Structure 1
Amino acid sequence: MAVTFVFDRDLPEVAALFLSPDFRRFRSERLGESQVSCKVKKTASQGHEFLMSRRVTRSLPAMFSKFFEPSQLFHLRENWQNTVKGWNGEFEVAIEGQSIDIYGDFALEPHRAGCRYTINHQCAARVPLIGRRLEKFVISQADKGVEQELTFLQAYLRGDIDGAV
């Protein structure tokens, strides 16, 4: 399932925050995540590669709490490519100590007077008996997390979040 969010700001302003490791750390910490690190490097094709780690704590349904701790360390690799339309890319997330991979693609493109961000999550869980249900749960949690991040970004752009990056 795709998550789509429309910003009322232009693409360069929104992209500048998406591409800022300082903003990513700020956002993660303000959303309650810990052990946040983020590095970015430019790629040969004028893109950006992000390597980000963060500890995320979420409540788990009883079915999954037997297998997983509520606090997990996520390692994200994200590649952004500048295109004629805007930006697009792909990502991979590894959850430390778990047999789960999250991956997908995203795009940030002009839309009316602002821009639109769309992200597609996919998941592969190599856990016997509960794998399919776990994949659905992980994708739903990933979607919720992205919605929180995008809502935070919109509030920051509007000046509703205190703090400078």
Structure 2
Amino acid sequence: MRHTIEHVFDTSPERLWEVFFFDEDYARGLYERMRLTVVRRDLQREGEGPNLIVRRKLQLAADRELPGALKRLFQGTSTVTEIGEFNAALRRYSVTIQVPVIGNLVDYGGEYTWDILPSGQLRRVWKGHCDARIPLVGGKLEAYLLGEIEKSMAENFAYTRDWLKAHPAS
């Protein structure tokens, strides 16, 4: 399954990604709002501005109840790993999401790209995918995981938009 999600921000790409990756107060508030616990965070930064490259690995535990069949499939664990590589010059942030237990049967992730609209606003586009090679439940798992991404991105967008308004660049 595939999906595309688009959001528009009143900020520059540099400001958006600087906050997204490096503002600890923002991250703490975002994860609290999304009911996620960061179990482990690894972050590598190279360069600055238009030459910025970021490699990030997050292990996240969600405070959410899984549907019955999926709960059995994941055997009580809800920790996922997100691995991402950001490249400012290519205007791309590629993300792979590894789900517990059945990760070798699920190809899950996507890519953010962005551009500047004629209005000067930043348009961020997510093109995501989920391919679950699991007989009988694969399609349901794909729909559930992409639905979770859509809900998470809506929360992320609302929080980030409000954060940027309340904390203008200095």
Q: TM-score, normalised by structure 2?
A: 0.78
Task: Give the structure 1 partner of residue 116 of structure 2.
Answer: 110
Pairing 1:145–2:145 present: no
Correspondent of 2:55 among 37, 49, 57: 49
Distance 1:131 1:140 in 2: 14
Cα contact 2:77–2:100 (8 A) shared by 1: no
1:95 CA drift (Å): 1.4
Cα contact 1:50–1:77 (8 A) shared by 2: yes
Task: Give the structure 2 partner of residue 123 of structure 1.
Answer: 130
Distance 2:65 2:28 in 1: 22
**Of Structure 1 and Structure 2, which has the larger fraction of its residues in helix?**
2
Q: Deviation per CA, 1:101-143, whole angstroms, max 9, x where unpaired?
A: 3121111322222211111111122322111221122111112
Distance 1:70 1:146 in 2: 24
Distance 1:137 1:93 in 2: 14
Distance 1:129 1:43 in 2: 44
Q: How many residues align?
A: 158
Q: TM-score, normalised by structure 1?
A: 0.80
**What root-mean-square deviation, in Å, do the aligned CA atoms of Structure 1 and Structure 2 show?**
2.5
Percent identical pairs in the alignment equals 16
1:59 CA drift (Å): 3.5
1:28-39 to 2 correspondences below 5 Å? 28-39=31-42
Q: Deviation per CA, 1:40-80, whole angstroms, max 9, x where unpaired?
A: 21358741111111101334344434434676111111111
Correspondent of 2:161 among 122, 139, 154: 154
